[in-house]
Chains A and B, each alone.
Chain A
Amino acid sequence: SQELEQSPQSLIVQEGKNLTINCTSSKTLYGLYWYKQKYGEGLIFLMMLQKGGEEKSHEKITAKLDEKKQQSSLHITASQPSHAGIYLCGADPFFYGQNFVFGPGTRLSVLP
């Protein structure tokens, strides 16, 4: 079955610093999704990557999918306290996404 690993498990950075979160799959990904979750709330969809080498950006967050489509990174530039939360990657192991799986999450704290 598809498994996703994330690193680091948690991250504390000073406001203004850049950071990177990684998501690694045991199998080729047909779709890789990044979500953000604030404690006690639902997940907010950030970005979806489908093609090997694809890169997408939204405001100060950039996500990349490697050529082999087994690893993705989420990069935040000039972090702000509003970036704090849990970042989860999710994946479609099958085309129709009925067995969607999530990584364990990376907890990000941004110190003002």
Chain B
Amino acid sequence: SQTIHQWPATLVQPVGSPLSLECTVEGTSNPNLYWYRQAAGRGLQLLFYSVGIGQISSEVPQNLSASRPQDRQFILSSKKLLLSDSGFYLCAWSPGTGGNQPQHFGDGTRLSIL
């Protein structure tokens, strides 16, 4: 069966420091991959999605970037964190083929910026 792993679970970082969050999927090939942010009291915001290695689409302009160095690995990064980057970050995957398919989520990373 397919599983998705996301780490770390929590992270406290100072303003201006770099960021790297990692997400990996097991048990499937060529998945679509997604990064979302869920700010306190707000809904889920799609940040990036990827349909293949090296293919990244950004939904909103921001201080963050994403990369997909391997088929089942998705990384969210920042060179310099801002206070506004605080939030709950979720990685998700869906099958790359087969039309409408649900997304399946990792357990999330809670990022606090001090």
Which chain B residues lie closer than 8 Å to A50 at the CB level? 100
In Å, the complex CA distance between A3 and B67 comes to 27
Instruction: Judge whether A97 and B100 touch: CB under 8 Å.
Output: yes
- Interface bracket on B: 20 to 34
B residues near A87, Cβ cutoff 8 Å: none
Q: What 0/1 pattern do residues 22 to 33 of A give for CB contact below 8 A with B? A: 000000001101
Q: In whole angstroms, what is the CA distance A42 to B44 when docked?
A: 11
Please tell me which one of the listed residues B51, B59, B90, B102 contacts residue A42 in the complex, with CB atoms under 8 A apart: B90
A31–B110 alpha-carbon span in the complex (Å): 29
Q: Mark A98-112, 1 if CB is under 8 A from B, else 0.
A: 111111110000000
Tell me if A104 and B108 are in contact (CB < 8 A): no
Contact among A40, A42, A48, A101 for B106, CB-based, below 8 A: A42
- Band of interface residues on A: 20 to 34
B74 interface residue, CB < 8 Å from A? no
Taking the nearest CB of chain B, how far is it from the CB of A105, in angstroms? 6
Query: Nearest Cβ in chain B — how far from A31, in angstroms?
Result: 4
Given contacts A98-B32, A98-B57, contact A103 B101 (CB under 8 A): no
- A contact residues around B107 at 8 Å (CB): 41-42
Given A41-B108, A97-B94; A88-B99 close (CB under 8 Å): no
Contact of A45 among B32, B49, B102 (CB under 8 A): B102
Query: What 7 additional pairs, Cβ within 8 angstroms, besides A98-B32, A99-B59, A102-B44?
Result: A31-B100, A40-B108, A43-B92, A44-B105, A50-B100, A88-B43, A88-B44
Residue contacts A-B, CB under 8 angstroms, 16 given: A31-B100, A33-B102, A41-B107, A42-B105, A42-B106, A44-B105, A45-B102, A92-B100, A97-B100, A97-B101, A97-B103, A98-B51, A101-B46, A102-B44, A104-B43, A105-B43
